[in-house]
Chain A
Amino acid sequence: MENLVKEQPRVVHEFQKIISSNMLSHAYLIDNASSKIRHQMAIWLAQSQFCDNLENGMPDQTCQKCQTIILGDNPDVLEIKTEKQSIGVDDIKFFKKEANMAATQGKRRILIIDEAEKMTVQAANNLLKTIEEPEGNLMIILLADSSKQLLPTIQSRVQIFHLSNQSNEDEIASLVELGFKEEQALRALKVSDIKYLESTTGEKYQSLLSAITNWLKEVNQQKINCFVDVQTDLMPLVENKDQQHLVFNMLNQIFSDILSIRYNLEKSTLTPVDILEKRNIQKIINMSDDLFTAEQMWKSNVSFQAILEDLSLKFVD
């Protein structure tokens, strides 16, 4: 938390000015960086509304009110967080009802929606009404990987702050603790969010990368055996939803790397060689489209194994 000012000086400075001049809006969208940093930013913003020792728009983060917010004990700071694949309209309705009650600790209530990109269309539309006509003194803070993942109608009605994407020292340290080498951790953070990386270990991450690479090599050779590889080589390494998410992140990065290699763009992140060299560019683009659809299917709770097997059949068409 202390590193926030050091990690995100531009956004913190902008918010300081807004807070000092009492010009805070009622709805913000914070994107980029990692889920951890986005969350820290939202907490910092919430603290600024309750801190007893606010100075130049900066909460001290040590007073009792700041501490209760960090611990999640302030009844006026509500957070929507879900382990599910989506945030439904019922979740939004429930929290809106809560948020519209009178503040108990300070002058306003704050609703933080983590992973806002998980909102279903109905949920987002329901929230839109509140953003357009906020009731009482409510401030909504949406956190997302990328603002583009949210409905255009929401994007146009909130103030968007893009955080800086430089890797965070704390995150690298936490991955090193999980057995990642420093260089590997740096690369991994370019591929995926810390939340998903922390669900694995350095060794497991490497095994997963090898298994995915081998699977794609079979695809490149047009070997239908890649269908069987999903069960025998990939599934034993994937134990939970976070690791499944990580697999999609890695696959997306590999496709991005292949395009970089083909067009001599920036240095690739996960694969130093073009592992799909037998496929022409049109086929690569089609495969990327299939991968995008696969991820949508996964978000609708279709079985992860079935999705990868279906991809195998499409890729070896």
Chain B
Amino acid sequence: MKIAELKNNLKQGNLDNVYLITGKEQVFIKDIQKSFKDIMSSEEREMNFSNFDLEEVSLGDVINEAISAPFFGERRLVFAEHPYFLTGEKVKNVVDQNADLLLKYIKNPTPSTILVIFASYDKLDSRKKIVKELKKLAITVNAGKMEGPILAKTIKNDLENAGYQIENEALDLLINKTKGNYSLIINQLNKLKLYSLNTKKIDQKSVIELVPQSLEDNVFDLMTEILNKNIYKAEELYNQFLLQKIDPILLVAIIISQLRLLIQVKILSEKGLTEGTIAKNLKMNPYRVKYAYRQARTLNRQQLQIMYGDIVNLDYQIKSGQGDKELLFDLFIAKYA
């Protein structure tokens, strides 16, 4: 079910007993939580609303709350967050949960209770019985990331409703700098709207000046400086990372992922594939591919491939304890001098 449909149903009083909200987009999650809370008056909420963190509270307590009759009201609303047992990940220092309790409950939920489970994870483990049953018996709503064109359209609509316009290049850059995170985009738009209060037009220059570069962008700059043999500049950037206490292992991981995409885009564009087809082939956000496509133009594939081999080898040297990681990264930069 889509968020709009859910909100509409809640407004009209078409309520179900169990909801599963998947995805990590905070703006949507907060919006959904507000919509659920709005079905009760504030007095009713005080008595009949509870919010549980399943990393800290046992499922038994949640189910006990869910089977209790409402107090001075017609329904009870129960939120359950961080249901880590629905994923395949191993989580440390959490309460051991008996998923069978939830399984039993969703098969026969209390009619006067609305149980909303917020599974803010990238992926649920669909092999688990509890996940299969939840998807079958609960109303599932996706609060995940908006992809490519839908995201762009939503931002444009938001801005138009507020009486603003945004240049296409500025929009691309904004989406890239925020990695398509809608919550972040909304935060940045507040700033950009203030900055463009007179013109009501957001251009690329203002996005460059006001939206901070992500760690990935800064690492890309480092990688470009190394490839261009600007060793002093590269060392300066690297030292800034160290001052910010950024682990060289993280830098290596980001460079690997960036080089991978650049090489993939180079290979596929040499075969004559368009940006859209490449994004589809790689199952990747079209904006990321578009950006990489632009960056890859000026770079030499042979050079990128050599660097890929070097950086994977550096990862091995660090992880097998062949030397101090900060020094090993330094030597990696020096190799390109």
A interface residues (Cβ-Cβ under 8 A, vs B)? 224-225, 227-228, 231-232, 296-297, 300-303, 305-307, 309-310, 313-314
Contact = CB atoms under 8 A, between A and B. Distances in A.
A302 B282 contact: no
A302 B312 CA distance: 8
B267 A227 contact: yes
Given A301-B319, A306-B256, A309-B260, A225 B308 contact: no
12 contacts: A227-B267, A228-B282, A231-B260, A231-B264, A231-B282, A300-B316, A300-B320, A303-B256, A306-B256, A306-B260, A307-B312, A313-B308
Interface of B is mostly: helix
A301 to B, nearest CB: 5
B309 A225 contact: no
A224 B320 CA distance: 29
Nearest to B278: A228
Given A300-B316, A303-B315, A310 B309 contact: yes
A301 B320 CA distance: 9
B315 A228 contact: no
Contacts of A303: 253, 256, 315
Nearest to A231: B282
A232 B284 CA distance: 11
Contacts of B305: 313
Interface residues of B, number: 20
A227 B302 CA distance: 13
Contacts of A309: 260, 308, 312
B103 interface: no
B219 interface: no
A232 B267 CA distance: 13
Contacts of B267: 224-225, 227-228
A305 B259 CA distance: 13
Determine which residue in B263, B283, B305 has the highest number of CB atoms from chain A within 10 A of its CB, and name it: B305
B29 to A, nearest CB: 27
Contacts of A313: 305, 308-309
Contact of B308 (A231, A297, A300, A310): A310
A227 B263 contact: yes
Contacts of A296: 316, 320
B263 A306 contact: no
Contact of B319 (A227, A231, A302, A310): A302
Contact of B316 (A297, A305, A314): A297
A130 to B, nearest CB: 24
B289 to A, nearest CB: 13
A310 B312 contact: yes
A225 B315 contact: no
